[in-house]
Structure 1
């Protein structure tokens, strides 16, 4: 059905689907496999990997896996299987680094420390808004492959900038560098204008940013294809 499907992309699709089906049956798995802020009592070290394979619903996993299927094989063919899986995991981790790095800074500005629970801050001494902010950050889970997917999108625009992309609802072909660049720009804008919504825009930006950094570290030239 998909003759150009590459090995790592295939396995990532399978793993994500298994996690999605498994978490649908065992709902409590979200508490163990989703990512939580490092100061949260729900945080576990393995979550920095497992969160990438968890999703919040069918629409969430569908669009992530559709993007992986459409763009992943070409990136894997260029990078090779080993580099591609490293790229996928690195960008997924990068998504967490930026998301939680900004939240750590915001916590520090508000309560004077990025880890109030671990440092034993008296929560009773906090104002209502401060306490609410601490509880919101520590109680919010992060799930999804979106950070890694944005890394893959960035890599596609980086390697194949002039390939035209066309969606059903946009009948005009748009070069990858403009289309994907526009998506990333929207995420940056959304992270600044809608910091409290349910979408982790900074994680998307982090995936793209760390993808760019890794491509540069590997010395891969821009627009080779």
Structure 2
């Protein structure tokens, strides 16, 4: 654990903070109202903008937290190490910026779409974690990922299926999941990676 804190400090802090704050609100549910994203409130009170960040640090329940943190554990720490490999110590800051920017940008479409809906709330780190995952895929497109944690497939195929599902689900699904955040988080991860490392496009293509 100390080695991870030293070599990937940003991922370590995000991981610990997200787990800690999520567990805190599980036991103190009154904090959900203060920390969750509520587009209706943001549209009427700019002081609520902080919830764009805090909503990404809390989760609905243990399963929601476990799924997101497992994904972050497998890809977030590796991605920060890659950024450091490519950019030296600056890579730590770049990883932090990727995570924060994707948290913000993945929620903007939701804020715009739901600004007149007082009953809509959103929470979870999924938008930022999708950004981390898709940034990782730019460097390792043939890495094996598990669909539903079971069915192995190359990362690029997973990415295509995931994006297709997000587009469909954002229009059709009524499951209470913010699929737009997943979609825009993933796209932010790809775009940010290309801006930072333009050579990643050629690298991605060369793997096929």
TM-score (norm 2): 0.82
Higher RCO (CA-CA < 8 Å; seq separation 6+): 1
Which string of whole-angstrom CA distances, capped at 9 and with x for unpartnered residues, describes residues 190-221 of structure 1? 11222x43000001111111222212222332
* Structure 1 residues 143 and 42, CA gap change in structure 2 (3 angstroms): farther
Q: CA deviation at 1:150?
A: 0.7
Number of aligned residue pairs: 191
Q: Specify the alignment match of 2:95 in structure 1.
A: 84
Q: Specify the alignment match of 2:180 in structure 1.
A: 202
* Structure 1 residues 178 and 3, CA gap change in structure 2 (3 angstroms): farther
Which string of whole-angstrom CA distances, capped at 9 and with x for unpartnered residues, describes residues 128-183 of structure 1? xxxxxx4xx2222110000001111111211111222346531xx42111113212
Q: Is the 8 A contact 1:184 1:205 kept in 2?
A: yes
Q: Specify the alignment match of 1:14 in structure 2.
A: 16
Q: Is the 8 A contact 1:40 1:139 kept in 2?
A: no
Which consecutive residues of structure 1, in runs of 5 or more, have no partner in the other structure? 105-133
TM-score (norm 1): 0.76
Q: Specify the alignment match of 1:139 in structure 2.
A: 119
Across the aligned residues of Structure 1 and Structure 2, the Cα RMSD in angstroms comes to 2.4
Which string of whole-angstrom CA distances, capped at 9 and with x for unpartnered residues, describes residues 97-133 of structure 1? 12223345xxxxxxxxxxxxxxxxxxxxxxxxxxxxx
Q: Is the 8 A contact 2:57 2:124 kept in 1?
A: yes
